[in-house]
């Protein structure tokens, strides 16, 4: 998991650098996402509104906390609750800081730039908070459930695919609504997975975590 965390962190940095230096190929990808925008009052728009709930902070955090407290009731350990609370706090602090510093323009501007004068001073779009919350939350939920119930490798792989699909569907909904550029969503997902993998790696390997064995209580 530590290798995965490092890999996602490197991907986040590399893709952020590509956008910051306004590489032509990455800007073409971003502007291509504008073609997915759907009109208000249509069924696809309604579907998109539902899809983005998969990354809505209040909803996904509530799901995570419910699962964590359920595990607390089942095992008597506060460990899952602390994992969710600390991980979520770290994620949202990192994402909020990047949004403020990079100040990316909105898709409606047709200019996928950082440090846009019209955006500086506002909470920007990069990286996507919805994408980062979706990536982090569904992966951590998968980990908590798999550790508690001792899932097989096959079941864990299926769970990982479901968690990734939830993030992808949420990102599609955001593009359809015109809320984000494609790279906002990609880097948001990479940051979410990086932080989730980092906390899971600590949970698995650090002595105070591994000794607790809360999943076997």
* pLDDT confidence tier of residue 203, bands split at 50, 70 and 90: confident
For the segment 128-132, the average pLDDT, to the nearest whole number, is 95
Q: What's the mean pLDDT in 80-102?
A: 91
The residue among 169 and 155 whose pLDDT is bigger is 169
Residues contacting 74, CB < 8 A, separation 6+:
148, 217
Phi-psi group of 112: left, alpha or beta (phi > 0 → left; psi -120 to 50 → alpha; rest → beta): beta
Joined together, the tokens standing for residue 189 give 């997902």
Q: Residue 216: its pLDDT value, please?
A: 43
CA distance 172 to 111: 20
Peptide bond into 127 cis (omega under 30): yes
Residue 102 burial (CB count, 10 A): 22
Query: For residue 27, what are the contacts with CB-CB under 8 A and spacing of at least 6?
Result: 19, 112
184, 104 contact by CB (below 8 A): yes
What is the mean predicted confidence (pLDDT) over 91-106?
A: 87
DSSP 8-state secondary structure symbol assigned to residue 126: S
Q: Report how far residue 12's alpha carbon sits from residue 195's, in angstroms, rounded to the nearest whole number.
A: 11
> What residues does each domain of the chain span?
2-216
189, 133 contact by CB (below 8 A):
no
Give the tens place of pLDDT for each residue, 113-126: 676 655 555 567 88
Q: What is the CA radius of gyration of the chain?
A: 18
Residues 6+ apart with CB under 8 A from 157: none
Instruction: Determine the Cα–Cα distance for residues 171 and 173; give it in Å rounded to an integer.
Output: 5
Neighbours of 158 (CB within 10 A): 13
Mean pLDDT of 141-160: 84
What are 187-196's pLDDT values in tens digits?
999 999 999 9
> What confidence tens digit (pLDDT) does each residue in 30-53 have?
989 889 999 888 999 999 999 999
Least confident of 3-17, 77-91, 107-121: 107-121
Q: With contact defined as beta carbons under 8 Å apart, do 200 and 140 qualify?
A: yes
Residue positions counted in the chain: 217
pLDDT for position 211: 46
Percent of the chain with pLDDT over 90: 52
- The residue ranking higher by pLDDT, 51 or 153, is 51
Written as six digits, the tokens of 43 are 């069924």
Q: How far is CA 179 from CA 15, 127, 171, in A?
A: 19, 12, 10
Pick the residue with more confidence: 210 or 149? 149
- Residue predicted with more confidence, 3 or 214: 3
Question: In this predicted structure, what is the pLDDT of residue 2?
Answer: 83
């Amino acid at each position: 998991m530590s290798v995965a965390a490092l890999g996602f962190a490197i991907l986040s940095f590399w893709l952020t650098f590509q956008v910051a230096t306004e590489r032509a190929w990455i800007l073409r990808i971003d502007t291509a996402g504008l073609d997915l925008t759907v009109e208000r009052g249509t069924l696809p728009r309604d579907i998109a509104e539902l899809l983005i709930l998969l990354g809505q902070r209040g909803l996904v955090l509530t799901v995570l906390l419910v699962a964590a407290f359920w595990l607390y009731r089942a095992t008597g350990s506060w460990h899952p609750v602390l994992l969710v609370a600390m991980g979520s706090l770290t994620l949202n602090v990192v994402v909020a800081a990047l949004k403020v510093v990079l100040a990316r323009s909105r898709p409606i501007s047709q200019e996928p730039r950082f440090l846009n004068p019209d955006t500086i001073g506002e909470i920007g779009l990069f990286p996507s908070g919805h994408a980062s919350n979706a990536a982090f939350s569904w992966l951590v939920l998968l980990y908590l459930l798999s550790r508690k119930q001792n899932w097989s490798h096959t079941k864990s792989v299926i769970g990982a695919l479901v968690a990734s699909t939830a993030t992808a569907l949420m990102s599609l909904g955001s593009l359809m609504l015109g809320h984000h550029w494609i790279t906002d969503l990609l880097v948001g997902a990479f940051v979410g997975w990086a932080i989730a993998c980092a906390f899971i790696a600590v949970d698995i390997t650090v002595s105070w975590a591994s000794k607790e064995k809360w999943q076997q209580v």
